[in-house]
Amino acid sequence: MRLVRNEPGVIPDGEGRKRVLTLPIAQRANNNSGPLCFLHETIADMPAQILLSAFADEAANHKTAVEQFSALAALGLKYYSPRFVDVTGAGTVKHVVALDDAELAKLADLQKEYGLSVTSIGSRIGKVKLTDFADKSHNKYVDPAEYMKTEVASTLKAAKALGAKLIRGFSFYQPAGDDPWKYIDAAVERLKPIVDACGEAGLVYGLEVEANLIGQNGRLLAALTEKTGRKNMVCIFDGGNLSSQNMTWMEVFDEYAAMRDHIGWIHIKDYKVDRDLKWTGVVDEERLKNFVPADVGDSAHEAILRDFKCVLPKLTERMQSLGAPGVFLELEPHLKGGGQFGGFSGPDGMGVAVRALCSVLDYVGIGYGLRTMDDIKAARGF
């Protein structure tokens, strides 16, 4: 059993162990979406199991499919999300939604060879301007009808070819520096046809929390989900995308609590906040450099996962009813750097990230599965 290091909100219990300081968070969470469920021991003792996954491109120095799959298989993972990949090893890296039919077929064969299944398509949907406005950003605008025929259609095609049930997406850019709440209704109108197209294809659209977008915090994501009103639209929590906005660990928890009832899966990324950085309200994503494993950052992973354990059975039932195998915790650690459209950890960094997450899961009592000898036997055919 691993003890959590000295972090904000973790205090000694007088017997050499440590425990989470829960009351202040519980008081704050009561103002959002109800009390912390981990305060109720009978609920917290319920069995809880998650599925581990990772963005495979983060684990490969050259982004080749063989590198990506070898690293994840060696770490014991059974699931992955494709994003950037060199399918053939010839040096050409493409986003998964830009692969042609032959490349998608080859990638599907390789993932089967390495015993991997797709968690989600790590799409770029929603990372464009909401409307055709001019601002200081380099983000582009695409006409909604054209967007549906190109980016959205290509994403659905990749999902079908690779056997994905989930689509990771976003919520569009408002004018840089402007109040995102002013654009909720307009964003909902752009999201509805995308989510409906996913639904027609038997897919779930996951809306990820991320800086600079209309869905840049948990309260905004909850509002978008509720106003969109589609059963096949869920939220993706990512603590590192909140702490990198200079939020304290308690503020990160509050944003989690605000969106908790809408979560479909979680990205595991953590960040060590630079308290000397002057917060301007906008994240320069290309300058982010303080990404860390999930057991040492400012994203409140222990407190969040301890609470998440209590709602996990209900969320698992919901996600399985939508066609997913369960609730994923997906590593996107960025330990060697990250930006607007991806990140990198290397095979060594991904190993550090996986072990750190597993230590937190062990500590809070959430079950997970890595490959065992039974998987090796099955692969050998006996």
**Taking all residues of the chain, what is their mean pLDDT, rounded to a whole number?**
88
Looking at residue 327, the DSSP 8-state letter turns out to be -
Q: Give me the residue label for tokens 């056997």.
A: 163
Q: How is residue 56 written in tokens?
A: 């495979």
CA distance 6 to 87: 43
Is the predicted pLDDT of residue 22 greater than 60, yes or no?
no
Q: What are phi and psi of 93, to 5 degrees?
A: -100, 130
Domain spans of the chain, in order of start: 20-369
% helix, strand, coil for the chain, step of 5: 45, 15, 40
Which pLDDT belongs to residue 36?
60
Q: How many CA atoms lie within 13 A of 299 on its CB side?
A: 30
Q: Look up the pTM and report it.
A: 0.88
Could you tell me the pLDDT band of residue 338, with boundaries at 50, 70 and 90?
confident
Distance of CA 75 to the CA centre of its chain: 19
Distance between CA atoms of residues 310 and 377, nearest Å:
34
Angle between helices 218-228 and 249-259 (to 10 degrees): 10
pLDDT in tens, 32-47: 445 566 544 444 444 5
Segment 280-311, tens digit of pLDDT: 666 666 556 789 999 999 999 999 999 999 99
> What type of residue sits at position 33?
S
Check: CB of residue 96 under 8 Å from CB of residue 110.
no
Mean pLDDT throughout 136-148? 94
Domain 20-369 class, CATH top level: alpha beta
Q: Is 361 left (phi over 0), alpha (psi -120 to 50) or beta?
A: alpha
- Residues of the chain above pLDDT 90, percent: 77
pLDDT(322) > 50: yes
pLDDT at 137 over 90: no
